[in-house]
Amino acid sequence: MQSMAGHRPLDTLVRNLRAGLTNMVHNDVVMTREGRPGLELKPEAFRPIARTNAPARMAFVDGGNGTVAESPNFVISLNRLYCGLFRGRDRTGAPPDPRIEFFSLVVRRAAHTETEYKTEYDVSLFPHDDSHRRYMPTEYDVKASIRDTPTGSDPRIPSLSRSLGEWRMARATVQTLERGDILVMDGSLTTLDRIESSYAQDLYRSAQDRGVVVCALAKTSRLLTRGGEPLLDRVHEISAGTGHGMWCIEVAEQVSSHDRGFVMAVKLHPNAAFPFRFEILREQFLEMDNAEKDRILSSMAANSCDVSFLGYPYGLVDADRYAQVRNSDVAMYGALLESRLRMDGDLAGILRSMRAYGAHERLNGVSS
Amino acid sequence: MNVAGQVVGGGIGDILVRQQSGSRLEVGDLLVSEEENSILILEVFGLQYGSQIDGRVQEMMSGVILEEEPPDAEFYEPNFVNYVMARVKALARVNRDLSVNLPKSLPAFFGKLRIISSEDLKFLQGGGRDRIFIGYIRSGSKVIRDAKVWLDARDIFTHHLLIPATTGRGKSNLVKCILYHLLDSSGVGALVLDAHNEYYGLNGEIGLSSHPDARNSLVYYTPTDPPPGSRHLTISLDTIRPDHFEGIVEFSDAQVRTMRKYYSDYRGEWISQIMLTDLSMLGEAESRRDAETRSITMAVLQQKIRQALDLEVDRENNVVVSRHNVFDSVRGGRTADDVVQNIEEGRVVVLDTSKLNDEAELVVGSIIATRILDHYREAKTRGILREKPVATIVIEEAPRVIGEEVLQSRTNNIYSTIAREGRKFKVGLTAVTQLSSVIPKAILANMNTKIILGNEMKMERMALIESASQDLSEDDRTIASLDRGEAIITSIFVPFALPIQIPHFEEIARQHPPPAPGTARVKVF
């Protein structure tokens, strides 16, 4: 009989990792989808980012959501959208409605035909102020974004309203910006479906009309090189030989058909621990000269000297702080909702259903 | 409104306030919440850091700064992300009609608070003939000179006053200031045992003698070279009774019996007789053993009295003399009566006891205090107590007479009697001490006004906090951080514990208005 001490699954796992992920042969071009070309990642391709005394105005947009209540036939989410304005290290005013909060209710109901049993979704959105609807997606678009899945429920349902809302918030923000200003989205310019793509397109069109540059910065990236190494790790390694403190390297004109951004990797502070994925709307990027690229990168770097996260734009830290839906927020609204449901006798069944659906939390309480 | 902070949480007695950047709150700062028909006065009792950044990230940030010294790195929006949180408690609600209540509700959530101003303190009453100026209201270390704290002298001295502090925090200055204002009042007479001879003001120094009405209201006794207008401190041994030693000098039962026997036999000359007794003449007709015992008892008694009163026996002339000229077997028969009379006339009597040892000083005080209490008791019996001013005995290092150990090991002394029951007879104690913790709780609680100066010793602070007239449970650090001249008044006669700055005595003396022509009463001693 094998002793417990002799059974070491983690040791085996580590051996497998070593076998699979070490001694890889470098092939320093990003692996794109659909065979799109990538640029070679070599020391000469790195361009230093210079400091600037005249950074551009930048708007940082982010969103957050949390599930307040759910059962098999409905989900209630709390969504937040936020935009902050900065010029270099300084906050520079605020857009008219910097922080928007709304609830989304997605109800899954039976909609039988003569030939089959099936379900349909009803979507309702509830802002605190009706004037905020201009920052929100339409209920129809959220409904149209929901996909059928084998389990009968799209896992993106709780976050759909928020992700579409971020594009809307960005478009509304662009309308308050001026030529030369920069809009920075948290994440990437990747869209997941036709609806989201049309929202992104609205933003791009509006931005191009007003001369506002659209960018996105992602803290993490799943992109790999053709050698199978994580793109940002490999770029970081190669950069060591360049001697640049802050730098940018162009990675690919397009990494997939769902992404409209020209993809780069950037290190925005000499002491930054990591580089980040950075994108500029491709149509805009391809028309830029080097001076314009430098202006954008220097402006980003000028906002990335905060000690709390060196090399990461403070505007995105700020946006995350305000857009985030915390557990305490969810708990508070959950309790408020429950108290209202209790007051209405007809809704007692909903309360039971919510509790039954939340049984795993109870199990956690028992078994943890 | 000049905002100092905003209420963000907490509860009764411990409200959390985020400090407005730049306002630099201090422990002890007084803040105001403006409400519909009143203002709420709050006091900062604690300060701590607050941050929007998680603690581990803060430590990491510090590591980056310390270890990497990154160029061009800084805190963005430092006032927004990192800030100071103040813990405050509500002290009082001041209504529009200037009435003051203890607050029973919280300030508005997210309500803005501002630093207190003199306008908010209009409810403090002004001065008057029988009111004494203690100091200016203080907000942290900021002194509000327009907000003066005057207390009714008769109230606070009847109900005993405690002045606790460690050395160097301004006790003597405070006592001098209080006594200076007492000179304006005929409603309170005071006996001051001045162990350091620091109150009167000799050799051109500013002291109580600088008061414009000092000739009339101040009486000064000193054993040597009394300056013009003052008196020689000489107390006749005849005026001392055995009970004046009670609780001050420790005697055995046999010694007490001997003292009483001598007092019974010789009355006013009992001390001289004891001191002049020839031990070899004792017990001539008794057994040898008894004679030895009596001889030993007498020898020890002589030694104790000699040490207590600093006496010497002049064998040549067969008289008892005092080493410091205070006790005299011939002169000073009227001194105690004169002192008591002056106090009963509302004067401040300062006895320079600097040349006396501890016990002699306390015996002198005991003689006079006993007389005062007797007179006031009698006045009460006769129904004329109301006509008399309040009498207070000012004693330094008070645990010498009202300390737990003293009271447990010895019989009650006149000072502890006054502390316990003097209030009924308008006789109070003004006790100055570094060690409040050794005073029994029952006596501490009876001292209804305490002017607390700085004290580093936790045990002392706790004794004061537990016996305060207001809830000072959160003021431990505040008391510890009181600087020289800073104090907290806790009293049944103030609406809330008042943080004050005690003025320098010289400042008070300089500001004092000279008496109007023709108003000064002249008394020649």
Measure CB to CB from residue A314 to each of B52, B65, B76 and give the nearest one: B76
pLDDT at A367: 56
Residue A50 confidence (pLDDT)? 96
Q: Which residue has the higher pLDDT, A343 or B50?
A: B50
The residue ranking higher by pLDDT, B133 or A3, is B133
Q: What is the pLDDT of residue A55?
A: 97
Residues of A with CB under 8 A from a CB of B: 51, 89, 91, 269-271, 305-308, 310, 314, 318, 321
End position of a domain, from candidates B322, B353, B381:
B322
In a domain, B329, yes or no: no
In a domain, B520, yes or no: no
Looking at the predicted structure, is the pLDDT value of residue A352 above 90? Answer: no
> Which among B57, B73, B77 has CB closest to A271?
B73
Mean pLDDT of A119-125: 92
Asked whether residue B497 is assigned to any structural domain, the reply reads yes
Burial of A269 (0-12, 13-18, 19+ CB in 10 A): buried
Identify the bridge partners of residue B453 per DSSP, sorted by sequence position: B487
Which stretch of A54-68, A165-179, B56-70 has the lowest confidence by average pLDDT? B56-70
Nearest CA in chain A to B76: A306
What pLDDT is recorded for position B513?
58
Contact residues, chain B, for A310 at CB < 8 Å = 64, 70, 73
Q: Count CB atoms within 10 A of the CB of residue B216.
A: 18
B85 near B7, Cβ under 8 Å? Answer: no
For residue B337, the Cα-to-chain-centroid distance in whole angstroms is: 25
Selecting from A270, A308, A321 the residue whose C-beta is nearest the C-beta of B71 gives: A270
User: In which residue are the tokens 């000699």 written?
Assistant: B306
Whether residue B451 sits in one domain with residue B490:
yes
- Please give the pLDDT value at position B410: 67
In this prediction, residue B346 carries a pLDDT of 94
- For residue B525, tell me if it sits in a domain: no
Asked if residue B484 and residue B342 are part of one domain, the reply reads yes
The pLDDT of residue B517: 40
Judge: A306–B53 Cβ closer than 8 Å, yes or no: no
Q: In this complex, do B74 and A269 lie within 8 Å of one another by their Cβ atoms? A: no
Residues B394 and B498 in one domain: yes
Mean pLDDT by runs of 10 across the 525 residues of chain B is 93 95 92 94 94 87 86 85 94 92 93 93 76 91 90 93 90 94 91 92 88 93 89 89 88 90 90 85 66 83 89 85 81 88 95 89 91 95 94 91 79 87 94 92 92 93 94 90 93 92 91 48 30
Which uninterrupted H or E stretch holds B461? helix B458-466
Scan for tokens 């993809």, then name that residue.
Answer: A263
Q: What is the pLDDT of residue A4?
A: 53
Name the residue among B314, B324, B320 with its Cα closest to residue B234.
Answer: B324
Q: Are residues B462 and B345 in the same domain?
A: yes
- Asked if residue A169 lies in contact with residue A61, where contact means CB atoms within 8 angstroms, the answer is yes
Q: Examine the domain organization and report whether B104 and B159 are in the same domain.
A: no
How close does chain A come to B35, measured CA to CA in Å?
Answer: 29
Buried b (16+ CB within 10 A) or exposed e, B299-325: eebbebbbebbbbebeeeeeebebebb
Instruction: Give tens-digit pLDDT for A185-195.
Output: 999 999 989 99
Side-chain-side CA neighbours of A21 within 13 Å: the count stands at 11
| pLDDT reading at A353 higher than 80 | no
CA distance A329 to A317: 19
| Same domain, residue pair B69 and B193 | no
ipTM for the predicted complex:
0.73
CB nearest B73 (choices: A51, A91, A305): A305
Interchain pair A306, B75: CB under 8 A = yes
- Asked if B64 is an interface residue toward chain A (Cβ–Cβ < 8 A), one would say yes
Q: For residue B127, what pLDDT is reported?
A: 67
Collapsed DSSP state (helix, strand, coil) of residue A319: helix
Distance from CA of B167 to the nearest CA of A (A): 46
Measured distance CA(A239)–CA(A45) in Å, rounded: 10
pLDDT for B429 equals 94
Residue with tokens 């700055």: B501
Same domain as B140, residue B183:
yes
Distance separating alpha carbons of residues A325 and A318, to the nearest angstrom: 14
User: CA A29 to CA A228: how far, in whole Å?
Assistant: 10
**Residue A124 Cα, gap to closest chain B Cα (Å):** 33
Q: What is the pLDDT of residue B524?
A: 30
Do B226 and B261 reside in the same domain of the chain? Answer: no
Task: List the structure tokens of A123.
Answer: 């979507």
Three-state DSSP state, B56: helix
Cα distance between residue A303 and residue A311, in whole Å? 8
Q: Examine the domain organization and report whether B68 and B110 are in the same domain.
A: yes
B243 and B220, same structural domain? no
Length, in residues, of chain B: 525
B21 contact A CB<8A: no
Q: Contact B191/B349 with Cβ under 8 angstroms?
A: yes
Indicate which CATH number applies to the domain containing B449.
3.40.50.300
The pLDDT score that the predictor gives to residue B316 is 85
Would an 8 Å CB–CB cutoff place B71 in contact with chain A?
Answer: yes
The tokens describing A324, both together, are 């985030």
Query: Does B517 fall in a domain?
Result: no
For residue B523, the model assigns a pLDDT of 30
DSSP B491-511: ETTSSSPEEEEPPPHHHHHHH
Q: Which residues of B touch A308 (CB under 8 A)?
A: 53, 57, 61, 75-76, 81
Query: What size, in residues, is chain A?
Result: 368
Select the residue of A270, A307, A321 nearest B74 (Cβ to Cβ). Answer: A307
- Looking at B60, B94, B121, the residue that finishes a domain is B121
Answer yes or no: do B227 and B299 share one domain: no
A235: left (phi over 0), alpha (psi -120 to 50) or beta: alpha
- Predicted confidence (pLDDT) per residue in A20-38, tens digit: 887 788 888 888 887 788 8
**B296–A contact, CB cutoff 8 A:** no
Which of A307, A314, A324 to mutate: most B Cβ within 10 Å?
A307
Residues of chain A with pLDDT > 90, as a percent, come to: 65
Q: Is residue B211 part of a domain?
A: yes
* Same domain (yes/no): B285, B344: no
Q: Confirm if A337 and A68 have CB atoms less than 8 A apart.
A: yes
Question: Does residue B204 belong to any structural domain of this protein?
Answer: yes
Rounded to a whole number of angstroms, the distance from the CA of A158 to the nearest CA of chain B is 27
d(C-alpha A22, C-alpha A31), whole Å: 18
Whether A118 has a pLDDT exceeding 90, the answer reads no
Residue range(s) defining the domain that contains residue B409: 131-234+334-511
Count of domains in chain B? 3
Last residue of a domain, one of B66, B90, B121: B121
Rounded to the nearest angstrom, the minimum Cα separation between B73 and chain A is 5
B62 belongs to a structural domain? yes
B51 neighbourhood in chain A, CB within 8 Å: none
Angle at B194 between CA B189 and CA B197, to 5 degrees: 130
Work out whether the CA dihedral B326, B330, B331, B333 comes out positive or negative. Answer: positive
Is residue A304's pLDDT more than 50?
Answer: yes
Q: Give the contacts of A68 (CB within 8 A, at least 6 positions apart).
A: A76, A77, A78, A103, A330, A333, A334, A337
